């Protein structure tokens, strides 16, 4: 596929927008069609921490994640991008599984004083934390600046798209566009608390009372959470909300008196592996880019670079 192809990207979350931006910067003519605004996608609910959560396969995920890590490091110098480099601790309870940390510079063992009760260890590292409301708006602005046409609309079948190249990056809806067995929803509910000055994140996935994380942004802290595979329910559960707030306050004392601002729910698109490949469907080239689980933000730029190679006909990096 020669440079300058006409490409339609279906999906306007972080994966779709980043793919659109990368393709336009590579010289393609790009149209991004989204059925909901970026602010209403699951990407907007994400806590925004660089961490490859609930996603496979690990070898490819590690490579995509490191590419994205470099990109986010450069964007931390761009105030409008909403990216900050923040230190935090990944708590361990029992056997340590640190595959994700390979290539993360400056990581160290957590001191006992940095760990909650019952923890057996932890990794302290400084990684990107992305304020998604800001970052999604920045991505849209960058897309427009490089000539991406952002279109509000719904695509139900790739055969309905007129361009010769289609990139399917529609998250949980992606498979239905191809008549494929696609990602399953994993319901993630979070609580938003006012930020009392917290600047350090914590993730305690194996807390005995349920998953705990606190991801501080300017003005609020995204606190979680849940990971309920197979649930399509988008309504916040009041009981779950209260439990999340209680767990987080037990692990992060600084949030004990923080005002509760609300609750939000998003559906992670979980699949056996990220489906990032090229094929021919209905007489057109189709590149799929979905199934990122809880790591859409973490992998978006790394996967977008591979999308550029697939659209251009080059071997994937």
Exposure b/e, 81-117, CB count within 10 A at least 16 = b: bbbbebebbbbbbeeeeeebeeebeebeebeeebbbe
CA distance to 16, 21, 123, 207, per residue, from 250 (Å)? 37, 41, 20, 11
Q: Do 122 and 17 fall within a single domain?
A: no
Q: Do 306 and 210 fall within a single domain?
A: no
What whole-number distance in Å separates Cα of residue 31 and Cα of residue 51? 29
Q: Do 257 and 157 fall within a single domain?
A: no
Q: Which residue numbers in the chain have pLDDT < 70?
A: 1-3, 313-317
Q: Do 261 and 290 fall within a single domain?
A: no
The predicted pLDDT at position 95 comes to 84
Q: Do 215 and 243 fall within a single domain?
A: yes
Strand pairing report for 260-270 and 165-168: unpaired
Q: Do 258 and 291 fall within a single domain?
A: no
Q: Do 98 and 142 fall within a single domain?
A: no
**CATH number of the structural domain spanning residue 49:** 3.40.50.720
The predicted pLDDT at position 317 comes to 28
Cα angle value 130/221/120 (rounded, 5°):
90
Domain that residue 166 falls in: 1-82+131-182+272-317
Q: Do 25 and 73 fall within a single domain?
A: yes
Q: Where are the alpha helices (DSSP H) in 213-295?
A: 238-251
**CB distance 170 to 36 below 8 Å:** no
- DSSP letter string over 31-95? EEEESS-GGGSHHHHS--B----S---HHHHHHHHHHHHHHHHHHTT-GGG-EEEEEEEEEE-SS
Taking only the tens place, the pLDDT of each residue in 73-120 is 999 999 999 999 999 999 999 888 899 998 899 999 999 999 999 999
**Beta-ladder partners of 277:** 288
The predicted pLDDT at position 176 comes to 86
Q: Do 217 and 304 fall within a single domain?
A: no
pTM, rounded to two decimals: 0.94
The predicted pLDDT at position 175 comes to 83
Q: Do 155 and 276 fall within a single domain?
A: yes
| Closest residue by Cα to residue 189 from 163, 210, 158 | 210
Q: Do 14 and 70 fall within a single domain?
A: yes
**CATH number of the structural domain spanning residue 219:** 3.30.9.10
Structural domain count of the chain: 2
> How many CA atoms, within 13 angstroms, populate the side-chain half-sphere of residue 209?
17
């Amino acid at each position: 596929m020669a440079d300058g192809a006409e490409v339609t990207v279906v999906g306007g979350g972080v994966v779709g927008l980043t793919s659109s931006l990368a393709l336009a910067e590579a010289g393609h003519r790009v149209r991004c069609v989204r059925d909901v605004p970026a602010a209403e996608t699951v990407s907007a609910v994400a806590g925004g921490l660089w961490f490859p959560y609930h996603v496979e396969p690990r070898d490819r995920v590690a490579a995509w994640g490191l590419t994205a890590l470099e990109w986010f490091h450069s964007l931390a110098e761009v105030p409008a991008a909403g990216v900050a480099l923040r230190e935090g601790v990944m708590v361990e309870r029992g056997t340590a599984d640190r595959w994700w940390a390979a290539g993360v510079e400056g990581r160290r063992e957590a001191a006992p004083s940095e760990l909650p009760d019952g923890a057996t260890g932890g990794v302290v590292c400084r990684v990107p934390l992305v304020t998604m409301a800001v970052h999604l708006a920045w991505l849209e602005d960058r897309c427009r600046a490089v000539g991406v046409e952002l279109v509000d609309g719904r695509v139900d079948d790739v055969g309905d798209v007129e361009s010769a190249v289609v990139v399917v990056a529609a998250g949980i809806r992606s498979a239905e566009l191809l008549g494929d067995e696609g990602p399953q929803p994993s319901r993630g509910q979070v609580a938003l608390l006012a930020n009392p000055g917290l600047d350090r994140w914590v993730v305690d996935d194996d807390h005995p009372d349920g998953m705990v994380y606190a991801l501080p942004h300017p003005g609020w802290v995204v606190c979680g959470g849940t990971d309920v595979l197979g649930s399509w329910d988008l309504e916040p559960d009041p009981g779950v909300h209260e439990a999340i707030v209680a767990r987080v306050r037990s692990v992060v004392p600084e949030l004990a008196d923080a005002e509760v601002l609300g609750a939000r729910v998003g559906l992670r698109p979980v699949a056996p592996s990220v489906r990032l490949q090229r094929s021919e469907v209905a007489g057109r080239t189709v590149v799929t880019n979905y199934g990122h689980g809880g790591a859409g933000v973490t992998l978006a730029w790394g996967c977008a670079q591979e999308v550029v190679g697939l659209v251009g006909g080059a071997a994937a990096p």
